[in-house]
Chains A and B, each alone.
Chain A
């Protein structure tokens, strides 16, 4: 007897004690089917081409409810995936006509609008799992969906009940912060060089950037603890490391070869250490010191950000807006924040997911700020450079860039002190 999935069931989660995502359950379900196939068929309803406006969502809800009724009556299994995709796994006796009727009745474009129901139907793919090729295709799809889901869950992870907790938690943060107070800045700060690629593909160093290394912190004070990615506690940790960044920057030699950049948070700008640093370090108009400020601070405390920008520029520094993803320029009009430079964090997945609009927004930003003032960070592979070039970016930072520079890399490499 097939088990009905949880959609619409108030008790359904009792059957899913592990509370996995529908994507994970679908993949596990398919893994149990032998490679030679099984006497099942599958209807996969997609919404990608329909968008997810309110009418589509209403239709999808009605369709889901209909599928669930079908599952109850005839024995089937329904998986409601992220983004509105439905996957209905049916036994051989589930009437296809009923499924077709449900698809037609709840079509995203209502027939009453004068649209032919047949042409306005949901985009669907039917799989016959008795055919090993169809089974493979569906397994492939399920794996991709599960991988997407896992990636995003990792990115936005919240420690949940029963999870093995080697993540950063408040107690571990308190422990690390306590040790940070006693450490030397050189132990946890790393440098990378920003290069500008000439048309001849020759890399020209243009900026040294110094930032706190989470790996170094983890290795010294919390071995085995995952300090990332991008949780609020990680941000709290980095804020508390600002003092070390400023202490480190104060000891840097005068920026006579190349400008240097440090990343701090907005709150650090009002500290005496920061003000000392800029008063001593930069001549008006030299642009020798680049102060990286997080986008979140700039948006959250706009007035303070603008004041900080003015203050930095009056002392000859430049402001770099950090912490943008490739999708950010489409979501925010970055030009209004008037940064001197912008750092976009590159990631192959994030870049691959970008639509034409988002790519155009990056290209527009590169024009507004200047192609030499947009830095693609995390350029650890050649693919980053190739991708950046297509959206008008000329400046890069990352391991691949460091390798390109090779022996001519002039930036001092710090942080070689032995672990505490």
Chain B
């Protein structure tokens, strides 16, 4: 089959290639691969329709389950296939050479290097290293763009797309306007689901949160509300109080699934939460999960411990949120005394060494698998990675789509049954 990513972006293929290359270790028998360097072609020769045309012959091998095709962000193509179809692959590569025969990349010394062949079975390590090098630049640069505060380009991009960071003056104004604003239209819900290896999906609970992008457009367009971490955290404390007021309204309390809400430690210890708890009544807490961010918990562990004990004593479940998957070995989840932990999926981890994966797997193995959620999963690759390290609960846009597909299938099935009954 063709490896496609639900992330939609071509770079998703880089992640998929890395993941596939790693999994291939267990299925090496009679495998070969070819790396076709379409990225060396002139820009005019490697437009999307050129690439599509070039790989169309290989796709037929994919359809017959004889190989797996990856079209990378750079336009390079990697095809991993069975020995049995080596002759056909050779012919397809020759076709591609012929197709771009007038390109400088296929004349002189460069012509030899246009296609690089791998005997995966006998040199798996060499193949893996080459695939890492091939796929990692995109992964690494995506990661560093996101995390390096010194990266001016990333900062500028963020500023242009999201506006200038919030200032104390603006925060004061936002807080004043929040006192009057109706936030009910900004509350979003996203399910946390159990997903099986066969992609059977079952919702477990639902998280309610405020859509920050929507809030920005409502109260302060052109400003990056999350641009200053401390001011944003303060703002979330204000939002917490408004959310509590909204969620304790009777119509919101009648949801069929258990509900999760993000709260700050300070909010849990405030009178507003006492009020919310009072409205829920004894036993009402049973179906509510309170998510507390790792950074918020670490900011004052003593207050966190008090909030956690108070919540658990009243029947709430406490979920530690905002733990990066790569930070799983750093956090002593058991010592935090929480019921659930939400780990944030990081696609860049696919490029990490096996030791890093083993460490994460070992740390998660020490926690009850039913208490670990992999969040921000946008595609199949995240689900597969989660399953690989023992996680069965997932949240993210990819899961939303999977759930929608599942609902649609069920609906069609019901419709079919109704139609059959009618006839």
Contact = CB atoms under 8 A, between A and B. Distances in A.
Nearest to B271: A19
Contacts of A174: 167-169, 172
A327 to B, nearest CB: 4
B257 interface: no
A170 B281 contact: no
Interface in A158-189: 158, 160-161, 169-171, 173-174, 177
A302 B329 CA distance: 13
A325 to B, nearest CB: 5
Interface in A224-249: 230-233, 235-236, 239
Contact of A327 (B285, B295, B302): B302
B300 A158 contact: no
A413 interface: no
Given A61-B282, A83-B310, A299 B295 contact: yes
Interface residues of A, number: 77
Interface in B308-362: 309-310, 312-315, 317, 324, 326-327, 329-332, 335-337, 339
A236 B324 contact: no
A16 to B, nearest CB: 8
Contact of B271 (A58, A64, A160, A330): A160
B313 A57 contact: yes
A203 B337 CA distance: 39
A171 to B, nearest CB: 4
B316 to A, nearest CB: 9
Interface in B131-176: 143-144, 147-150, 167-169, 171-172, 175
Contacts of A31: none
Contacts of A171: 168-169, 172
Contacts of A20: 271
B312 to A, nearest CB: 4
Contacts of A200: none
B283 A357 contact: no
B274 A236 contact: no
A54 interface: yes
B307 A13 contact: no
Contacts of A141: none
Contacts of B412: none
A170 B302 contact: no
Given A82-B313, A357-B335, A232 B230 contact: yes
A349 B286 CA distance: 31
Contact of A332 (B269, B300, B331): B331
A270 B233 CA distance: 23
B168 A331 contact: no
Contacts of A327: 301-302, 305
A360 to B, nearest CB: 11
Contacts of A13: 274-275, 278-279
B267 interface: yes
A181 B279 CA distance: 47
Interface in A131-181: 148-149, 152-153, 155-158, 160-161, 169-171, 173-174, 177
A267 B305 CA distance: 29
Nearest to A13: B278
A177 B278 contact: no
B234 A233 contact: yes
B278 A83 contact: no
Main secondary structure of the interface of A (DSSP, over half): helix
Given A152-B303, A233-B234, A304 B330 contact: no
A30 interface: no
A300 B175 CA distance: 25
A9 interface: yes
Given A19-B274, A152-B303, A173-B168, A236 B230 contact: yes
B88 to A, nearest CB: 44
B282 to A, nearest CB: 3
B78 interface: no
A106 interface: no
Interface string A30-55: 00000000000000000100001010
B306 interface: yes
A100 interface: no
A374 interface: no
B299 interface: yes
Contact of B295 (A300, A333, A336): A300
Given A83-B309, A303-B144, A64 B331 contact: no
Given A54-B339, A156-B300, A83 B313 contact: yes
Contacts of A80: 282, 313-314
A39 B66 CA distance: 86
Interface string B227-241: 011110110010001
B249 interface: no
B298 interface: yes
B326 to A, nearest CB: 7
Contacts of A169: 172
A57 B315 contact: yes
Contacts of A361: 335
A6 B278 contact: yes
Given A156-B303, A350-B302, A170 B234 contact: yes
Contacts of A199: none
Nearest to A336: B330
Contacts of A236: 168, 228, 230-231, 234
Contact of B283 (A61, A148, A295): A61
Contacts of B219: none
Given A8-B283, A232-B237, A299-B294, A84 B305 contact: no
A158 B150 contact: no
Interface string A332-348: 11001100000000000
A328 interface: yes
A270 B231 contact: no
28 contacts: A13-B274, A52-B313, A54-B339, A61-B282, A65-B282, A80-B282, A80-B313, A81-B313, A85-B313, A152-B302, A158-B237, A158-B264, A160-B272, A171-B168, A173-B171, A174-B172, A235-B230, A236-B231, A236-B234, A296-B298, A296-B299, A299-B327, A302-B324, A303-B144, A332-B331, A333-B329, A349-B302, A350-B302
Interface of B: 143-144, 147-150, 167-169, 171-172, 175, 228-231, 233-234, 237, 241, 264-267, 269-272, 274-275, 278-279, 281-283, 285-286, 294-295, 297-303, 305-307, 309-310, 312-315, 317, 324, 326-327, 329-332, 335-337, 339
Interface of A: 6-10, 12-13, 19-21, 47, 52, 54, 57-58, 60-61, 64-65, 68, 80-85, 148-149, 152-153, 155-158, 160-161, 169-171, 173-174, 177, 230-233, 235-236, 239, 266-267, 269-270, 295-296, 299-304, 307, 325, 327-328, 330-333, 336-337, 349-350, 353, 357-358, 361
